A and B are shown apart, each in its own frame.
Chain A
Amino acid sequence: MAVYIAKKIGLTFVVLFCAATCSFFLLRLIPGDPAEALAGPQATQSDVAAVRASLNLDKPIPLQYTAYMGNLLKGDLGYSYRSRRPVLDEVLARWPNTLRLSLTSMLVAVVIGVPVGIFAARRRGKLGDTLSMGISFLGISMPSFWLGMLLILLFSVRFKLLPFYGMDSPLNYILPSLTLGLGIAANIARLTRVSMLEVLDQDYIRTARGKGVSEAGVVYVHALRNAAVSIITIIGLQLGALLGGQVVTETLFSWPGLGRMIVDALTARDYMVVQGGILVLALTFTILNLLTDICYAVLDPRIRL
């Protein structure tokens, strides 16, 4: 087990190093000069050159890369081209907002997705199954930003019940969490149903039924406990979708999180902020994957082989 975890942690570091390198060079391939964008349309050539020098953009790319990676090892993500503040500060200021939205969205996804999946599995082939799976199929086929727009139209524009801008009150969490969470709930519901059906077909379930265990006991004690490994893995696999979904949801709801920060920085060519944001997102994603892998290995000893 320790060797398995050590190997996974080692691989995480390699992936992060590659992600940092990849984002560094990918951003430098984007046409256009960040110094020109920062200096503004009225700037002279010498102004642009001064900005370029102040940001170390006049140095050769390999030198910029070694300096960036060297600083990264010291925990220094560099400085924002626009605000001149340390990227780490900007990332840390927004990271909790993204994390909070991720947690509330995942809560929505699990609270809706798992019961719907169990419900559909219990009514296999019946109207309830067809209907709930039909709705979840619609959920996975709908762009999350459009779902968000429909929720805004319904709850903010039509009934004026919920705010759709910023994050001043707890009410502000409802629409973005539903936007992000419902699509993931649809995925979780479909996959939970399949896992439950697999378990419900097993001999030990037949034995439990034969021994006179109530239907609720069979489903919630015998079946659900055995399907839990797959359900946890399913939830873990959805974390990637959750982090990706943040980018567009935060933009739609003007949520001051990492996703929106990266989008804004990318369009403004503030490469250091983009690199820092991507690195932190990649770090989160790989750590969450690692935790899912460990959970999986703890729950299912066959995986360790």
Chain B
Amino acid sequence: MLKNSLGFFRRPSTLIAAVIFLILIIVCLFGTSIAPYPPYEQNLENKLQPPGGGHLFGTDDFGRDLFSRVLAGAKYSLSAGLVSVLVGLTGGLLLGVPAGYYGGWLDRLVMLICDTMLAFPGILMAMALSMVLGQGRFTPMIAVGISSIPVFARLVRSQFLSIRERQYIEAARAAGAGDLRIALFYILPNAFGTVMVQATLRMGTAIITAATLSFLGLGAQPPEPEWGSMLNAARAYFFSAPHLAVFPGLAITITVVAVNILGDSLRDYLDPRLRER
């Protein structure tokens, strides 16, 4: 078991990504205590200071310490990834399991719903849903999650379609197992790996989409220290304070790189055929 777990960290990049992810979790939990300044504390006399001096990343247009705000923003971005993947996965399972298991008209209906949702650019769907759900800390995350339901539903459906034809499913049916039992205890555990890989990889996309929503002014609202909304505010200071446009974006990219490497490693670990590629 231990040897198997160590196999996951075979590549140095996976280990580095795992360490970054661990640091991000620590920052999420203790960000405001580690931060040198309170993330909301304004100091107008000290505004738009470049990096250095007492402020590692400089200060923003209200004189707030950018480093402290970037640390505080980790909590928002990681929870955006987690909540939206949970919402997308739950919706995907609710639609994909019956579609893949029963097939027929139910499958066609679910696929039509998915095709319709996928015909909208994801960000537009998330924007409209975010407006429908109204203001709130979790609404952009839920909106991003709902817009990713068709991706999960299609994957779960295709897994169920292929697994339900296997012999052990026939054997379970012959032994008298009911539909629900077969779906939940025989097919789902076998589809779990592939679905988890997609969930991990989707987390990176969700973090970017949530940040994009805030960047467009529809996600987290100022003065919330959210990375996307900090970048939106930075657009007004391209010439006077370019550092404002660098650090929050770097934080998003590092987080998404770490999450994507972990997703890739999980996929390679679960499917050894891919390791050589």
Contacts and interface: CB of A to CB of B under 8 A. Distances in A.
Nearest to A274: B128
B249 to A, nearest CB: 3
Given A15-B119, A266-B127, A281-B121, A29 B238 contact: no
B123 interface: yes
A31 B124 CA distance: 17
Q: How big is the B interface, by class?
A: 35 or more
Given A143-B253, A149-B231, A14 B245 contact: no
Interface in A229-267: 240, 243-244, 246-248, 251-252, 262-263, 266-267
B118 A240 contact: yes
B116 A244 contact: no
B257 A138 contact: yes
B77 to A, nearest CB: 11
A221 to B, nearest CB: 23
A143 B261 CA distance: 16
Contact of B252 (A26, A146, A240, A263): A146
A31 B134 contact: yes
Nearest to A152: B238
B112 A137 contact: no
Nearest to A289: B119
B123 A15 contact: no
Given A145-B212, A263-B216, A282-B119, A140 B129 contact: no
B252 A22 contact: no
Given A244-B121, A282-B120, A29 B127 contact: no
A267 B116 contact: no
A266 B128 contact: yes
Nearest to A183: B208
A197 B132 CA distance: 46
Nearest to A251: B216
Contacts of A278: 120, 124
Contacts of A153: 238, 242, 245-246
A252 B235 CA distance: 9
A30 interface: yes
B122 interface: yes
B256 interface: yes
Contacts of B277: 194, 197
Contacts of A252: 235
B239 A29 contact: no
Contacts of B128: 23, 26-27, 30, 266, 274
Interface of A: 11, 14-16, 18-19, 22-23, 26-27, 29-31, 137-138, 140-143, 145-146, 149-150, 152-153, 156-158, 194, 197, 240, 243-244, 246-248, 251-252, 262-263, 266-267, 274, 278, 281-282, 285-286
7 contacts: A11-B115, A19-B116, A146-B245, A149-B231, A157-B242, A281-B120, A282-B119
Given A141-B204, A141-B253, A142-B252, 7 more contacts: A15-B115, A26-B128, A143-B212, A146-B252, A248-B216, A267-B217, A286-B119
Minimum-distance CB pairs A-B, first 8: A146-B249, A244-B121, A18-B116, A141-B256, A282-B119, A141-B257, A29-B132, A30-B131
